Structure 1
Amino acid sequence: MASFPAILQSEWTKIRSVRSTIWTLALTFVVTLGLGALLSLLTKNNFQEFAGDGPFDATSTSLSGIGLGELAIIVFGVLAVGNEYSSGLIRVSLAAVPQRGTLLTGKAVVLGALALAVSTVTVFVTFFVGQALLGEHSTGLGEPNVLRAVLGAAAYLTMLCLFSAGVTAMLHNQTLALGILVPFFFLLSPILSAVPKVKTVAHYFPDYAGRRMLLVYGESGQPYGAGAGFLICLAWTLAALAGGALVLKKRDA
């Protein structure tokens, strides 16, 4: 069996050799930065209309592009795992690494490290560009909870990527995974969050929990804050990866 460093090297080679995965990471950066910059500029030029009654969250405003950047990082997580199944390469991988849990762990480590690196660069660049565009309404990393929110944004995108990878490993099909994940995050979750009788359940979905991590100021009426949001999002991520490992061990490739 290959050593774990060799598995990591192999997974890194697989990811960088598939052009679509690289493009989705680049798209995560471009979309998050572009939309965040646009909304920051619009907020500055229409501050009275956009600010609202409570304290103005300049950090959340500059990072608002994450709402669309999520889609690209989800696609990256799905493609990074699903390409092996669609191409049949998973059989070669399992022949080289019969211990399936070790194989998925290596894949998760590489995916997580790459997603974290890209997400960290993305959120910090987006934050600084957004603050520059907000002008006199801007904030700084030294202000209370601002650095935590920026780092939380990077952690959220990373966990979202790993969650998507875990779901894909469970389904063994990237088309099916995208067909479930995209409607869930961009249709079902927002709709349920607006329905009074079921919104309490939707508050514990990974996207809602993750976005609590981006807020500098706590919102009144919310069931929990950034710390609990991190733990809930982490629990979803670990559950998805554990489910993927279980299916990989029990089911033929």
Structure 2
Amino acid sequence: MAVTQVVRSEWTKIRSVASTVWTLSLAVVVTIALGMLISALSKNEFETLGARDRLSFDPTFISFAGMSIGQLAMIVFGVLVVSNEYSTGMIRASLAAVPRRGTFLFSKLAVATALALAVSMATSFATFFLGQATLGELKASIGDDGVLRAVIGGGLYMTLIALFSMGAATMLRFPLLSLGILMPFFFLISNILGNVDATKQVGQFLPDQAGSRIMRVVTPLDDDTPYGPWGGLGIMAFWVLAAVVGGYVLLKRRDAQ
């Protein structure tokens, strides 16, 4: 089967499954709504901040606060794109129709990543502009130093989260197992490791901790992170590459089931 036919087939699969459409919609709504809420709370509390906290005040990063929850919906999207075929048994028919497993996998990832990128970029820009409107006189401008980079980076971050989840789901195959590992990791374990002094040196190199650095414009005064915004995104991209390669290797080696 030609690559273009495989890509077309994967697009049909993704858009015909209601759960994947709903998870992307949820990612958009949650990210924007929570970003506006946190921006409103930050505006109200700004006068109570000390001089040190005001120097570290980052209106751009504040507007992206909703991504901490919105990324969970992107994780679900990434997992469902891959593991739905395993849970329904369609994987046997898919691999019979496309014997070249590399073509099958990378066509699926390419279509889903392109969709995630489009949604993530639109969400990132909407989140920024609505968040800044909520902040009022505290807002940042898209033309300020580092702001456009942060907004574009926010879209790339969400996309990489989805792609990482696809790679992990390819290795783990089943949706409950994949979500049972990825959701606690990103929502709980990573935050603990990245914020506790004893484990911070390790935690700051985890994919979400490193990748979210791209959305910062103002560096906290006590920050000692050994990499910058693009360096952090590069670390995240390395994790994503490892997950995708791991998924490809396992898909090539094991039977469809």
Same topology, TM > 0.5? yes
SS in 1 for 2:57: coil
CA distance in 2: counterparts of 1:33 and 1:21, whole angstroms = 19
CA distance in 2: counterparts of 1:120 and 1:247, whole angstroms = 31
User: Which runs of no fewer than 5 residues in structure 2 stay unpaired?
Assistant: none
Contact 2:46 2:54 in 1 (8 A): no
CA distance in 2: counterparts of 1:73 and 1:199, whole angstroms = 25
Partner in structure 2 of residue 46 of structure 1: 45
CA distance in 1: counterparts of 2:160 and 2:204, whole angstroms = 17
| Cα distance, 1:217 vs structure 2 | 2.0
CA-to-aligned-CA distance 1:84-108 (integer Å, 9 cap, x gap): 0000111111011101011111011
Contact 1:115 1:158 in 2 (8 A): yes
CA distance in 2: counterparts of 1:35 and 1:144, whole angstroms = 25
| Cα distance, 1:48 vs structure 2 | 2.3
The within-5 A match list for 1:123-134 is: 123-134=124-135
Contact 2:211 2:234 in 1 (8 A): no
Contact 2:157 2:212 in 1 (8 A): yes
CA distance in 1: counterparts of 2:14 and 2:166, whole angstroms = 13
Partner in structure 1 of residue 165 of structure 2: 164
Partner in structure 1 of residue 213 of structure 2: 212
CA distance in 2: counterparts of 1:218 and 1:199, whole angstroms = 17
CA distance in 2: counterparts of 1:232 and 1:140, whole angstroms = 28
Partner in structure 2 of residue 60 of structure 1: 61
CA distance in 1: counterparts of 2:196 and 2:61, whole angstroms = 24
| Cα distance, 1:50 vs structure 2 | 5.7
CA distance in 1: counterparts of 2:246 and 2:236, whole angstroms = 15
SS in 1 for 2:55: coil
Corresponding letter in the other structure for 2:182? L
Contact 2:150 2:214 in 1 (8 A): yes
Partner in structure 2 of residue 110 of structure 1: 111
Contact 1:213 1:230 in 2 (8 A): yes
- Taking only the aligned residue pairs, the percentage that are identical comes to 52
CA-to-aligned-CA distance 1:63-112 (integer Å, 9 cap, x gap): 11001001100000001111000001111110111010111110110111
CA distance in 2: counterparts of 1:146 and 1:50, whole angstroms = 23
The yes-or-no answer on 1:227 pairing with 2:226 is no
Task: Give aligned pairs, total.
Answer: 252
Q: Tell me the TM-score normalised to structure 1 length.
A: 0.97
Corresponding letter in the other structure for 2:235? I
SS in 2 for 1:81: helix
SS in 2 for 1:213: helix
- CA, structure 1 residues 49+244, in 2 after alignment: closer, same or farther (shift >3 Å)? farther
CA distance in 1: counterparts of 2:91 and 2:78, whole angstroms = 16
Partner in structure 1 of residue 16 of structure 2: 17
Q: Tell me the TM-score normalised to structure 2 length.
A: 0.95
- CA, structure 1 residues 17+185, in 2 after alignment: closer, same or farther (shift >3 Å)? same
User: Which runs of no fewer than 5 residues in structure 1 stay unpaired?
Assistant: none
CA distance in 2: counterparts of 1:26 and 1:129, whole angstroms = 17
RMSD: 1.2
| Cα distance, 1:49 vs structure 2 | 3.5
Contact 1:21 1:76 in 2 (8 A): yes
